[in-house]
Amino acid sequence: MNTRILYALGAAFVVIGGCGDGRLQESEPFEALPGLHAEVRLLGVNNPGYSAVLVQVRRLTVTTQEGEELPVRLEARRALELTTPGHAHQVGRFVVPEGVERVAVEVEFDDFGGWERDGSGGVLDMRVAPLRFEEPVEYLTQRGRAVVHLNLEQSLRALNEVRLLQPSLDVRH
């Protein structure tokens, strides 16, 4: 499959699937909110030879231990290409109020993405449970971010021309 076709396919998924913008209205001054400003990034690692893996993030949700949703701004508004070595895409930003010790992060993907390898390609089925992890806020204060390392070799399962995303991940800072 031609890379241009794959990118067009990814763009179509964005239009069909839409993309949420978190819990914050654009008119609210996100940058002025008090608290720790942090971000979530997504990095494809351990690539077994894919020339393209496109995913689209639908929603980013960050909550406290008590279940209170924190202000979030989704930054990933286009398909993310996970085979670019060393490039961690910014998924979104969030604000942690003072006094919160742990947060739960959830990254939900659109239903479908795309892949390309050895001159062929197809659909990436991402209809799975969202990526979920918990973070001590003290880890976020060190660098201001959590980087999700998505292991491409372990996460993409072949089902004929379709690949199924079964996320294998590690969170770094």
Q: Is residue 79 part of a domain?
A: yes
Q: Please choose, from the candidates 4, 30, 25, the residue with its C-alpha nearest in 3D space to the C-alpha of residue 94.
A: 30
On the CB side of 68, CA atoms within 13 Å amount to 11
Q: Is residue 173 part of a domain?
A: no
Instruction: Find the domain containing 85 and state its range.
Output: 3-25+33-168
Q: Please choose, from the candidates 140, 139, 152, 37, the residue with its C-alpha nearest in 3D space to the C-alpha of residue 96.
A: 37
The domain total for the chain is 1
What is the number of other CB atoms lying within 10 angstroms of the CB of residue 50?
Answer: 19
User: Whole-prediction pTM value?
Assistant: 0.84
Q: Is residue 88 part of a domain?
A: yes
- CA quadruple 53, 133, 31, 59: dihedral sign: positive
Rounded Cα distance, 101 and 135, in Å: 9
Q: Is residue 106 part of a domain?
A: yes
Q: Is residue 114 part of a domain?
A: yes
- Per-residue pLDDT for the chain (173 aa), expressed as one digit of tens each? 444 444 445 444 444 444 444 454 455 688 899 999 999 999 999 999 999 999 999 999 999 999 999 999 999 989 999 999 999 999 999 999 999 999 999 999 999 999 999 999 999 999 998 999 999 999 999 999 999 999 999 999 998 889 999 999 999 98
